[in-house]
Amino acid sequence: MTAQFIGVGVGPGDPELITLKAARLIQQADVISYLCNQDGRSQAKHIARLALADTGGTQEEIPIVMPMREDRTIANQRYDQGAASIQAAINAGKTVVFLCEGDPLFFGSFAYLLERLQDSCPCEVVPGISSVHAAASVLQAPLTMQKESFAVISGRHDDDVLDKTLNLHDSVVIMKAGLSRQRILQALTRTQRTGDASYLEYIGRDQQIIEPDVSKLKDEAGPYFSLFVITRKDRERL
């Protein structure tokens, strides 16, 4: 392959949900890059373990260590450093594949690297299955039907945005629900959507949790990899 930077979606957690194209590019890459914590653990790399197993562990790696707590200044510094390392590898004639959970351009960390590198090197993006679609599959519930409206928002929005979205749209997925779980539960109560909501954690992973009755959730924060799916229970049927 021509030296380039490729963002590959590895899906929400199940290693068998990686596309054939993504698996092929992972296996052909000279360098694998990914986000990891201070201990070097990477969710994206773990999800891609089946594809990586066929490489024999001979690829170079560019881990980008991110702080556990959100700090924009530190995060920007880490992305700058990671982009510089990736650019150096590409300048040396190597192809770098960045492993991104879910889809690279849907709340994906790849987007921050893409904006730093797309003007200086060839780039490619391989879509992946998002947690939104994986959640719908696990629940066996359509996200939208007929004339229903659909919105995806972050739980980091303020209460006013949460309320307006829940009131306006038939179907809503609230991403990044962990630290905002208590506020989201309150918003569901205010908008009378509690009965329409389901809650999921770690979709497609060994520790997956599905709670179809959100009134049973503890009034406390949840993990980062969690979301709410809200769909009308009184849908019009054909």
Helical spans, DSSP H, in 12-130: 20-28, 43-47, 49-53, 72-91, 110-117
Which three-class secondary structure state does DSSP give residue 100? strand
Distance CA 137, CA 130 (A): 11
Other beta carbons within 10 Å of 98: 28
Q: How far is it between the farthest Cα atoms of the chain?
A: 59
**Domains in the chain: ranges and CATH:** 5-126 (3.40.1010.10), 131-230 (3.30.950.10)
75 Cβ contact partners less than 8 Å away, ≥ 6 residues apart: 66, 67, 112
pLDDT of residue 72: 83
Looking up tokens 């998002």 gives 130
Distance CA 222, CA 69 (A): 14
Distance CA 5, CA 146 (A): 39
**Rounded mean pLDDT, 90-100:** 97
Residue 106 above 80 pLDDT? Answer: yes
5-9, 56-60, 73-77: the lowest-pLDDT one:
56-60
11 Cβ contact partners less than 8 Å away, ≥ 6 residues apart: 17, 18, 47, 101, 102, 128, 129, 134, 204
**Rounded mean pLDDT, 43-56:** 91
**Rounded mean pLDDT, 93-114:** 96
Taking only the tens place, the pLDDT of each residue in 162-213 is 999 999 999 999 999 999 999 999 999 999 999 999 999 999 888 999 999 9
pLDDT of residue 153: 97
Enclosing H/E stretch for 152: strand 150-154
Better-scored residue on pLDDT, 2 or 170: 170
Residue 33 above 70 pLDDT? Answer: yes
Cβ(207)–Cβ(201) below 8 Å: yes
Counted residue by residue, the chain has a size of 238
Taking only the tens place, the pLDDT of each residue in 124-177 is 999 999 999 999 999 999 999 888 999 999 999 999 999 999 999 999 999 999
pTM for this model (two decimals): 0.90
